[in-house]
Structure 1
Amino acid sequence: MRRPFPNRLARIALLAALLPLPALAQAPGQDSVGEAAWVRKRTAQLQALDKVTARITVLDATVNQPVRFGSLTITVLACNARPPDEVPDAAAFIEVRDTVGSPNAPPAFRGWMLANAPAAHMLEHPVYDLRILDCR
């Protein structure tokens, strides 16, 4: 008996195509069924951890203004929060570059970070951890 999707990659591609796009991908102010709109904010509150020294620092990063933590340059490209009458949550589109290494190297991280799901999409770095706390 022949299976309809013989390899794992084809099954994953089909699953990805069938999943609905998240509300973050929608235009600002546009609601999907059962979900409130995200509100754009100008400042992201980030928590940075230096794993070597165990130093935790809270950074306030203005959108499109790079901030430094150790050898990292962190640029918040977008910061969205839920309206006050909804369950609190924040999401930030962040680009992180490490100054150690080649200047032409790709970013150490580029993508959305979610306050309520920090492990969903996180910076993978041997020395530093970074997470979004809030958007203001």
Structure 2
Amino acid sequence: MRLIRTVPLLAAALLLGAASQAIAQSRGVIEQSPLPPPGTIPAPRQAVPAAPPAPRPTTPGVVQRAPLGAPQVSPGGGPPQPSAAPPMAPAPGSDAGGDVMVVQPPAQKIPNAFAVYAGLDKITGRITSFDVAMGETAQFGALQVTPRACYTRPVTETQNTTSFTEVNEVTLKGQAKRIFTGWMFASSPGLHAVEHPIYDVWLIGCRASAPVTARSAGQQ
């Protein structure tokens, strides 16, 4: 009877010893791992790199092509060859691909033999128009007007009539004093105007030939 009672006690003692040993081992493992100092952030765990994808099975007789831009592997096992870049579109205005380059032609100037002016007498308010040949001088009041060039534009272009003109003032002593030299514009008379207290002159247009007067028309 004593032997039967002793066996459960021995089993209980063995189980208790095994449990105590397991608890001691776990405490030792916990105590061996150092704890981070207070106020610090533990380093993140490094991610395990993923395994490369397995190559796709190839079908006999079918050539596998690399994506566009990736190096192509030569069949003989040589170094990889770069793939051909996609064709680029030709730049605007170039003649690549058979297109013809269009160049805007420069503005054409038509020289004329006569310049047409308008003169204003500020005292009487009378306006007079007169034609002057290139290089010649016309007298308007106390002003002498000499055109050097007169240009017009073709009918297909925007009209811009210009004239390079020289204007002198005749003083009371009979001397000619230059008061204007430059370009006159028929579309903008006030852009380059003659500054004079009594007379004013501006460009109206140009003529390729001499104007037809009433006398010459009657003779014809």
**TM-score calculated relative to the size of structure 1:** 0.70
**TM-align CA RMSD:** 1.7
For CA contacts below 8 A with separation 6 or more, give which structure has more relative contact order: 1
Deviation per CA, 1:14-59, whole angstroms, max 9, x where unpaired?
A: xxxxxxxxxxxxxxxxxxx675221111101101101011110001
SS in 2 for 1:57: strand
> Which residue among 106, 112, 115 is the counterpart of 2:183?
112
More strand per residue: 1
More helix per residue: 2
Q: Highest CA radius of gyration, 1 or 2? A: 2
Kept after mapping to 2: 8 A contact 1:113/1:121: yes
Task: Measure, in 2, the Cα distance between the counterparts of 1:86 and 1:80.
Answer: 13
Percent of matched pairs sharing the same residue:
35
Task: Return structure 1 stretches of 4+ with deviation > 6 angstroms.
Answer: none
Task: Measure, in 2, the Cα distance between the counterparts of 1:98 and 1:75.
Answer: 12
How far does residue 81 in structure 1 lie from its aligned partner after superposition? 0.8
Q: Which runs of 5+ in 2 are unaligned?
A: 1-103, 208-220
One-letter identity of the residue aligned with 1:50: D
2:113 maps to which residue? 42
Task: Measure, in 2, the Cα distance between the counterparts of 1:34 and 1:113.
Answer: 25
1:58 maps to which residue? 129
Q: Which runs of 5+ in 1 are unaligned?
A: 1-32
**TM-score calculated relative to the size of structure 2:** 0.44
Equivalent residues in 2 for 1:6-85, closer than 5 Å: 36-85=107-156
One-letter identity of the residue aligned with 1:59: F
